[in-house]
């Protein structure tokens, strides 16, 4: 059966969309964009909704159809997002049913990038997820959001992924992360290091598609490949 991977977080600015983009490419999965803000995986991919006469995502959701998957060079296959998701009236169950149907009809794994915080689309996606990757910075605000998420979703398949980790991570924050997951079924995935070159990178192809991999991003590429292998093992 196709596996459903969701990348979600209680707050923005934690590297969620980059994680979804790279994990989707590593897994060879369809990337479904449920983000409606400007800095989405769809825009990173090169899709501009304002240049299109139709809205394939909303048309699929409204009519109960399976959307067409867009293909690109060294990029994950994509179902582009829509700014109209912000005002969509669908329930979490309706989003969940759509995701399950799409995965079955495509016969492929999919990765869903969600909007930060609580929304019907995010909750629907998480309710049918085989694994939910939760990118988390090792700093107070990020850990506050992750702690809340763990408390509310202990029966969900959560994997916390320490993200943008400095070479010498703060010991106090590592201790706090350990305390958040202690005594719970929540797992901690491979950490993704902070690499300054990622912040200024303009290329649309996935970092994990680079061949050869530029030395400046080699560590983060290796980390995302490790995360992809971890996710595959988790869902199997």
**DSSP string computed for the chain:** ---EEEE--SSSSSSHHHHHHHHHHHHT-EEEEE--SSS-HHHHHT--GGG-S--HHHHHHHHTPPPPPB--TTS--EE---GGGGG----HHHHHHHHHHHHHHHTS-EEEEE-SS--HHHHHHHHT-SEEEEEE-SSHHHHHHHHHHHHH-TTS-EEEEE-SB-SS--HHHHHHHHHHHTTSS-EE----B--HHHHH----S-GGG-SSPPGGGHHHHHHHHHHHHHHHHHH-
Task: Say what the pLDDT of residue 164 is.
Answer: 97
128 near 99, Cβ under 8 Å?
yes
User: Which DSSP symbol is given to 207?
Assistant: G
Q: What percentage of the chain reaches a pLDDT higher than 90?
A: 93
Please compute the mean of the pLDDT values over residues 162-175 and round it to a whole number: 95
Q: What percentage of the chain reaches a pLDDT higher than 70?
A: 100
Residue 161's DSSP bridge partners are 135
Nearest Cα to Cα of residue 198 among 177, 223, 174: 223
Task: Say what the pLDDT of residue 33 is.
Answer: 98
Please compute the mean of the pLDDT values over residues 191-220 and round it to a whole number: 97
Please compute the mean of the pLDDT values over residues 148-159 and round it to a whole number: 97
Q: Tell me the domain boundaries of the chain.
A: 4-235
Task: Say what the pLDDT of residue 37 is.
Answer: 83
In this prediction, residue 225 has a pLDDT band, given cuts at 50, 70 and 90, of very high
In this prediction, residue 128 has a pLDDT band, given cuts at 50, 70 and 90, of very high
Residues 115, 55: Cα–Cα separation, whole Å: 18
Residues 36-93 pLDDT 10s: 987 799 999 999 988 998 999 999 999 999 999 999 999 999 999 999 999 999 999 9
Nearest Cα to Cα of residue 135 among 114, 111, 156, 163: 163
Please compute the mean of the pLDDT values over residues 111-135 and round it to a whole number: 96
**Domain 4-235 class in CATH:** alpha beta
Task: Say what the pLDDT of residue 108 is.
Answer: 97
41 near 157, Cβ under 8 Å?
no
Residues 93, 71: Cα–Cα separation, whole Å: 28
Q: Supply the Cα-derived Rg of the chain in whole angstroms.
A: 17
| Mean pLDDT for the chain overall | 96
């Amino acid at each position: 059966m196709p596996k459903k991977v969701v990348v979600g977080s209680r707050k923005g600015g934690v590297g969620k969309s980059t994680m979804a983009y790279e994990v989707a490419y590593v897994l060879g999965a369809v990337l479904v964009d449920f983000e409606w803000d400007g800095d989405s995986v769809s825009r990173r991919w090169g899709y501009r909704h304002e240049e299109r006469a139709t809205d394939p995502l909303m048309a699929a959701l409204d009519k109960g159809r399976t959307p067409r998957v867009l293909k690109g060079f060294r990029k994950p296959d994509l179902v582009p997002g829509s700014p109209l998701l912000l005002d969509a009236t669908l329930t979490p169950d309706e989003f969940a049913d759509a995701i399950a149907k799409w995965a079955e009809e495509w016969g492929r794994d999919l990765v869903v990038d969600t909007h930060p915080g609580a929304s019907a689309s995010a909750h629907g996606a998480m309710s049918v997820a085989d694994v939910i990757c939760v990118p988390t910075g090792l700093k107070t605000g990020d850990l506050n959001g992750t702690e809340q998420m763990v408390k509310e979703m202990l029966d969900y398949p959560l994997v916390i992924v320490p993200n943008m980790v400095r070479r010498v991570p703060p010991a106090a924050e590592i201790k706090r992360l350990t305390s958040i997951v202690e005594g719970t079924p929540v797992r901690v995935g491979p950490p993704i290091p902070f690499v300054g070159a990622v912040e200024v990178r303009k290329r649309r192809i996935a970092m994990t598609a680079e061949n050869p991999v530029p030395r400046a991003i080699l560590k983060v590429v290796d980390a995302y490949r490790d995360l992809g292998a971890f996710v595959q093992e988790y869902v199997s």
